[in-house]
A and B are shown apart, each in its own frame.
Chain A
Amino acid sequence: MNKKPIYPFTAIVGQEKMKLALILNIITPGLSGVLIRGEKGTAKSTAVRALAEILPVIKVIEDPSFQLDPECEYDNYVEICRALNRTESESPAKLKVKERKVQVVELPVGATEDRVVGTLDMEYALQKGGKRVEPGLLAQAHRGILYVDEVNLLDDHVVDVLLDAAAMGVNTIEREGISFSHPARFTLVGTMNPEEGELRPQLLDRFGLCVNVQGIGSIEERVAIMKQRILFDENPAGFSKKWRQQSAELTARITRAKEMYNKVETSEELLFEIARACLEVGVDGHRGDIVILKTAKTLAAYHGRTEVGLTDINEAVELALPHRVRRQPLMEITDSVESLRAKNRAA
């Protein structure tokens, strides 16, 4: 890509929790996304855009608007080709497959529903008497990362559509005479500034993890940030090159963790620990439990272990529960679940 160079992920100073949450989501897309809440200028967007650099490579069926998995999504591919009036290759063996990095697809705040879910090209239909579906951003984001900046400012309609698709892993277009669906399993990454309004609880819950970011307090780190940023602005290409080694290492580590994830085991007592944590802080439903377990397993894999430890659970709780704690309207989303637990335990 010859685009403007991106600030390298590994060169971001501080914000460890946010970086960790993002990495965990790359390792296990099943964590269903991360919501980054925080004030302006805390490298939220920088971090998400920088992800592109460290994302692993996947195999896809060659196609301009879909990222289908050649191994298990051939049927979908055939279906899509029919819907789009394309000629499909007749057998899985003849598919054109190429390798590409997982993509970060950005959803602008002003995006219309059409652009997000896809639509029928009406003018084409009327002039040629044929149907042509124009896939939307959700098609592009399949198996990738869908990044929504200022997710709390998004149109309600669009949010609903996103929710639907994120929950089902499938995007269904049911409008103006077309009925068409395609797989859309994406990792939803949202950033928001809570001062401008909260998210609807339903959407909040769909984000697997939630991180509150703050400006960094220590002078040393602030100075480090300024230094890095200046270096980058002066010579972006050179700067990125300097960090390339670290980026490659991180990518390798992510790939290793990905492979390891399925081998990670969790002992029975730790499962109880998870359930206890959820009960102690009081969360709605069971999504919290499930996400904690997955996060803990991913953490273990990331650290190269095949056994989940108590520290993994505790770390996972901090990432997975803050936004799920049942709270009074207008109560702040908590920064530390641990302190909340301690308080509830004492009470």
Chain B
Amino acid sequence: MITPLYPLAALIGQEELQLALLLNAVNPAIGGLLIRGEKGTAKSTAVRALAELLPEIEVVSGCRFSRRPARRDELCLECRGCDDEPGISRRAARLVNLPLNATEDRVAGGIDFPASLKRGRAILQTGLLAEAHRGILYIDEVNLLDDHITDLILNAAASGRNIIEREGISVSHPARFILIGTMNPEEGELRPQLLDRFGLCVKVRGCDELERRVALLTRREKFDRDPLKFRAAFQTESDDLRRRIKAGRRQLRKVRMPPAQRIFIGELCAANNVAGHRADLMLEQTALALAALQGESEVRTEHIRRAAPMVLRHRQREAQPPQPPQPPQPPMPEPPLKNNNQQDEEKSENQEPPKEDGQEPREAQQSTGRPPDSASEEEHSAAEGQEEQAEAELDDSEPNQPPPGLEDSVFEIGASFRVKKITTARNRTARRGSGRRSRSIVSLKQGRYSRAGRHGLQGDIAMDATIRAAAPYQKSRSGNLAVKLDPQDFRYKIREKRLGNLLLFLIDASGSMGVRGRMAASKGAVMSLLLDAYQKRDKVSMISFRRADAKVNLPVTNSVEMAGKLLAEIPVGGRTPLSAGLIKGYEQTRNFLSREPTGRPIVIILTDGKANVSLGSAKPVDEMLKIAAAMTAEKRAKYIVVDTEEEGLVTFDLASRLAEALEADYFKIKDIKAEDLVNIVRKKQ
């Protein structure tokens, strides 16, 4: 396309990004680059600009796989049929952009239907991986890419070859490319497996200096006004960069890695607690490239130090997503109290902080980024005040004021564990979406082609089935194609894929949840489920109910991280408006289903079932059960009740009655751990 590009040399700031790009250009063995960062920080601009600077490559003329001349080992199916003396041509290295909506056959390659029909034999249509060979494969927002496409790319990147085995084609061709991805972590994390595949990782953010911001603004404005003139102004700088890349590539062969430095690399990786050995290799390659770029012939410690953050950043074990968020910090003590922790604890145990006192920490915390709601909390160990609380819990009818100690405590998240497989039954109505929890037929051109049918997504034709259907009639039909097809022959692909569900958490945050570590355990359970949701790419939503009403803490979102963050902050205290909670949850479910009519939300209710606030005049528990029974009318939603009441002499078993009314699966917290190898759904059927 003729839209002029913003030159790399004209970028302001983002030095690390520029360096990482150059290093990759110098040494493709580094294995790509992942750019993480906030929006509007020239991520994409920089990558596109790099492509212009790459040196030209020599290719066999007309070879669809960009074969290097004189490399017999790269011979592909087609080349073997070529003449012995192929022509050689030079062209610029390609930047291949992989759009998020690319289908499997476009990425890996597939059958070229029209050509195959004309000539009567299977003809390969090369994919983007073939095109990207010896160039750059660029994936914007790589964390949003569909999983099965990601797998294809991973396979090719790992082996340097792309293997096509589908629909009667069996070809493999070299596919070595620099993989560059950008992502915005707010949108969800990458799988660790894919994360590790990127050689380097760079974090970008906007700059905070006034002068540089203005300089940047001025440049951009100049560029927008007259792109060509702007590019001309940076011509010398661009040429200079181009030369440096070329020189660096030549130099790379001469750079030596002294053994002592190699040991240093090993130590560095060990000290940083990285998984696997790829980090060591990548660090070595990066250091080599850095030395080459600076025109030196030996790797020095500085090179390694400079390269290390880029290589190790995304490989450190601690950085593995998603970490259970740190327990919330105790409220910032006032300056005079700062000296002694113990004293502090005693204070909070015995007295409520006076109102004025609470004012200031609230502001301080707002700036550190927590909702004001959680600001007035005090750290509360679950064992304290157990007795009064237990009393309060049984004292359901006591009006309003719960004991002061119960007001708005925030409990930390208890231990998390692996959860059982929670899925919905296989969905037979076609759905759309992404994720990998429940199996479903999808009305997308994605997913595994499971069988062919007469009806399917317009245009998603199953070649093999179509030809089989047409085969008996070939003699009687006329036409100039090798295979003659009529509309009634067409068969469409029916694709199947795992899709994410909506996990809607309905959390009881009333005072009774504060006792005996119930809330901590519940939060641990929710956290475990969230971790699972993260891996399955579910949507999540969180509703908590306490005092008089229910509150949507988190509307339906893909960001499980955000759910985790919010979970830590949910305060506990007050009475139990379970009816309100159920209704809010139902509303949210219905709302979601109206957007995604084929969706299958899973509503997970964590409560002890002790409702004591009703919406109307009925008794809270009766009202709750009535509402629950009414909610079963929505057959698309699946309910799970997790009972937080621990076993003891006196149990109320209200949660199990709730589960019964909801026709829900019922678990104690310990039951959802993965150790019991019973699949939750199977158990039900």
B-binding residues in A (CB < 8 A): 30, 72, 75-76, 113-114, 117, 119-123, 125-131, 153, 155-157, 160-161, 163-164, 167-170, 172, 174-177, 179, 181, 183, 196-198, 200-202, 205, 262, 266, 268, 271-272, 274-276, 278-279, 283-290, 293-294, 328-331, 347
- Which chain A residues lie closer than 8 Å to B110 at the CB level? 176-177
Asked whether A284 lies within 8 Å of B206 as measured between CB atoms, the reply is: yes
- Which chain B residues lie closer than 8 Å to A285 at the CB level? 37-41, 205-206
In the complex, chain B residues 644-666 whose Cβ is within 8 Å of any chain A Cβ: none
In chain B, what residue has the closest Cβ to A196?
Answer: B591
How many Å from the CB of B504 to the closest CB on chain A?
Answer: 13
- Which chain A residues lie closer than 8 Å to B97 at the CB level? 172
Asked whether B187 lies within 8 Å of A76 as measured between CB atoms, the reply is: no
Asked whether A167 lies within 8 Å of B44 as measured between CB atoms, the reply is: yes
B675 within 8 A of A: no
5 contacts between A and B (CB under 8 A): A160-B100, A205-B39, A262-B225, A266-B221, A329-B562
In chain A, what residue has the closest Cβ to B561?
Answer: A329
Asked whether B485 lies within 8 Å of A202 as measured between CB atoms, the reply is: no
Within 8 Å by CB of B102, from A169, A175, A202, A268, lies A175
Alpha-carbon distance A287/B361, docked complex (angstroms)? 34
How many Å from the CB of B40 to the closest CB on chain A?
Answer: 3
Within 8 Å by CB of B553, from A128, A176, A197, A330, lies A330
Alpha-carbon distance A141/B44, docked complex (angstroms)? 23
Alpha-carbon distance A157/B101, docked complex (angstroms)? 7
In chain A, what residue has the closest Cβ to B40?
Answer: A285
- Which chain B residues lie closer than 8 Å to A120 at the CB level? 459
Asked whether A201 lies within 8 Å of B186 as measured between CB atoms, the reply is: yes
- The tally of residues in B whose CB lies under 8 Å from a CB in A reads 81
Best-surrounded residue of B38, B99, B369, B486 (most CB of chain A within 10 A): B99
Within 8 Å by CB of A202, from B112, B187, B432, B486, lies B187
How many Å from the CB of A334 to the closest CB on chain B?
Answer: 14
How many Å from the CB of A320 to the closest CB on chain B?
Answer: 12
Asked whether B42 lies within 8 Å of A286 as measured between CB atoms, the reply is: yes
Alpha-carbon distance A126/B210, docked complex (angstroms)? 60
In chain B, what residue has the closest Cβ to A125?
Answer: B114
Alpha-carbon distance A262/B107, docked complex (angstroms)? 42
In chain B, what residue has the closest Cβ to A127?
Answer: B485
Asked whether A287 lies within 8 Å of B40 as measured between CB atoms, the reply is: yes
In chain B, what residue has the closest Cβ to A122?
Answer: B459
In the complex, chain B residues 89-117 whose Cβ is within 8 Å of any chain A Cβ: 97-103, 105-107, 110-115, 117
Asked whether B216 lies within 8 Å of A272 as measured between CB atoms, the reply is: no
B371 within 8 A of A: yes
How many Å from the CB of A293 to the closest CB on chain B?
Answer: 6
How many Å from the CB of B36 to the closest CB on chain A?
Answer: 13
Binary CB contact string for chain B from 128 to 163 against chain A (1 if under 8 A, 0 otherwise): 100000000000110010000000000000000000
Within 8 Å by CB of A293, from B1, B217, B481, lies B217
Alpha-carbon distance A330/B557, docked complex (angstroms)? 11
Asked whether B113 lies within 8 Å of A157 as measured between CB atoms, the reply is: no
Asked whether B217 lies within 8 Å of A289 as measured between CB atoms, the reply is: yes
- Which chain A residues lie closer than 8 Å to B487 at the CB level? 123, 127
Given A160-B100, A197-B556, the answer on whether A153 and B114 have CB atoms closer than 8 Å is no
Asked whether A155 lies within 8 Å of B206 as measured between CB atoms, the reply is: no
Alpha-carbon distance A153/B595, docked complex (angstroms)? 7
How many Å from the CB of B369 to the closest CB on chain A?
Answer: 6
Given A127-B485, A156-B434, the answer on whether A176 and B105 have CB atoms closer than 8 Å is yes
Asked whether B218 lies within 8 Å of A271 as measured between CB atoms, the reply is: yes
Asked whether A286 lies within 8 Å of B112 as measured between CB atoms, the reply is: no
Alpha-carbon distance A156/B433, docked complex (angstroms)? 7
B303 within 8 A of A: no
How many Å from the CB of B1 to the closest CB on chain A?
Answer: 5
- Which chain A residues lie closer than 8 Å to B562 at the CB level? 329
For the complex with contacts A75-B2, A114-B458, 6 further pairs of A-B residues with Cβ separation under 8 Å are A156-B433, A156-B558, A157-B100, A174-B101, A174-B103, A201-B187
- Which chain A residues lie closer than 8 Å to B111 at the CB level? 177
In the complex, chain B residues 382-410 whose Cβ is within 8 Å of any chain A Cβ: none
In the complex, chain B residues 561-584 whose Cβ is within 8 Å of any chain A Cβ: 562, 565-566
How many Å from the CB of B2 to the closest CB on chain A?
Answer: 6
Asked whether B595 lies within 8 Å of A286 as measured between CB atoms, the reply is: no
Alpha-carbon distance A284/B38, docked complex (angstroms)? 6
- Which chain B residues lie closer than 8 Å to A164 at the CB level? 99-101, 140
Asked whether B100 lies within 8 Å of A161 as measured between CB atoms, the reply is: yes
Given A169-B3, A286-B40, the answer on whether A126 and B490 have CB atoms closer than 8 Å is yes
Asked whether B206 lies within 8 Å of A272 as measured between CB atoms, the reply is: no
Asked whether A197 lies within 8 Å of B42 as measured between CB atoms, the reply is: no
How many Å from the CB of A274 to the closest CB on chain B?
Answer: 7
- Which chain A residues lie closer than 8 Å to B225 at the CB level? 262
Asked whether A286 lies within 8 Å of B555 as measured between CB atoms, the reply is: no
How many Å from the CB of A335 to the closest CB on chain B?
Answer: 18
Alpha-carbon distance A129/B216, docked complex (angstroms)? 52
Asked whether B40 lies within 8 Å of A205 as measured between CB atoms, the reply is: yes
B506 within 8 A of A: no
Alpha-carbon distance A196/B588, docked complex (angstroms)? 10
- Which chain A residues lie closer than 8 Å to B206 at the CB level? 283-286
- Which chain B residues lie closer than 8 Å to A198 at the CB level? 555
Asked whether A328 lies within 8 Å of B114 as measured between CB atoms, the reply is: no
- Which chain A residues lie closer than 8 Å to B548 at the CB level? none
How many Å from the CB of B585 to the closest CB on chain A?
Answer: 16
Given A160-B141, A289-B216, the answer on whether A131 and B38 have CB atoms closer than 8 Å is no
- Which chain A residues lie closer than 8 Å to B128 at the CB level? 174
Asked whether B213 lies within 8 Å of A275 as measured between CB atoms, the reply is: yes
Given A284-B40, A289-B213, the answer on whether A174 and B99 have CB atoms closer than 8 Å is yes
Alpha-carbon distance A107/B333, docked complex (angstroms)? 54
B535 within 8 A of A: no
In the complex, chain B residues 452-497 whose Cβ is within 8 Å of any chain A Cβ: 458-461, 466, 480-481, 485-487, 490
How many Å from the CB of B234 to the closest CB on chain A?
Answer: 18
Asked whether B371 lies within 8 Å of A330 as measured between CB atoms, the reply is: yes
Asked whether B554 lies within 8 Å of A330 as measured between CB atoms, the reply is: yes
- Which chain A residues lie closer than 8 Å to B565 at the CB level? 329
Given A126-B461, A160-B141, the answer on whether A275 and B210 have CB atoms closer than 8 Å is yes
Best-surrounded residue of A122, A160, A161 (most CB of chain B within 10 A): A122
Asked whether A197 lies within 8 Å of B555 as measured between CB atoms, the reply is: yes
Alpha-carbon distance A288/B206, docked complex (angstroms)? 11
Best-surrounded residue of B40, B144, B363, B445 (most CB of chain A within 10 A): B40
- Which chain A residues lie closer than 8 Å to B117 at the CB level? 126, 129
Asked whether A287 lies within 8 Å of B39 as measured between CB atoms, the reply is: yes
How many Å from the CB of B98 to the closest CB on chain A?
Answer: 8
Best-surrounded residue of B100, B481, B553 (most CB of chain A within 10 A): B100
In chain A, what residue has the closest Cβ to B220?
Answer: A290
Given A127-B485, A174-B102, the answer on whether A278 and B40 have CB atoms closer than 8 Å is no
Asked whether B3 lies within 8 Å of A126 as measured between CB atoms, the reply is: no
Alpha-carbon distance A275/B106, docked complex (angstroms)? 43
Asked whether B210 lies within 8 Å of A155 as measured between CB atoms, the reply is: no
How many Å from the CB of A89 to the closest CB on chain B?
Answer: 19
- Which chain B residues lie closer than 8 Å to A268 at the CB level? 214
- Which chain B residues lie closer than 8 Å to A201 at the CB level? 39, 184, 186-187
Alpha-carbon distance A87/B37, docked complex (angstroms)? 45
In the complex, chain B residues 157-206 whose Cβ is within 8 Å of any chain A Cβ: 184, 186-187, 205-206
B428 within 8 A of A: no
- Which chain B residues lie closer than 8 Å to A181 at the CB level? 1
Asked whether A160 lies within 8 Å of B101 as measured between CB atoms, the reply is: yes
In chain B, what residue has the closest Cβ to A124?
Answer: B114
- Which chain B residues lie closer than 8 Å to A155 at the CB level? 432
Alpha-carbon distance A169/B6, docked complex (angstroms)? 14
In chain A, what residue has the closest Cβ to B38?
Answer: A284
- Which chain B residues lie closer than 8 Å to A286 at the CB level? 40-42, 206, 213, 216-217, 220
Best-surrounded residue of B38, B41, B186, B205 (most CB of chain A within 10 A): B38
Within 8 Å by CB of A288, from B3, B40, B554, lies B40
Asked whether A278 lies within 8 Å of B213 as measured between CB atoms, the reply is: yes
- Which chain B residues lie closer than 8 Å to A128 at the CB level? 114, 481
B224 within 8 A of A: yes
- Which chain A residues lie closer than 8 Å to B434 at the CB level? 156-157
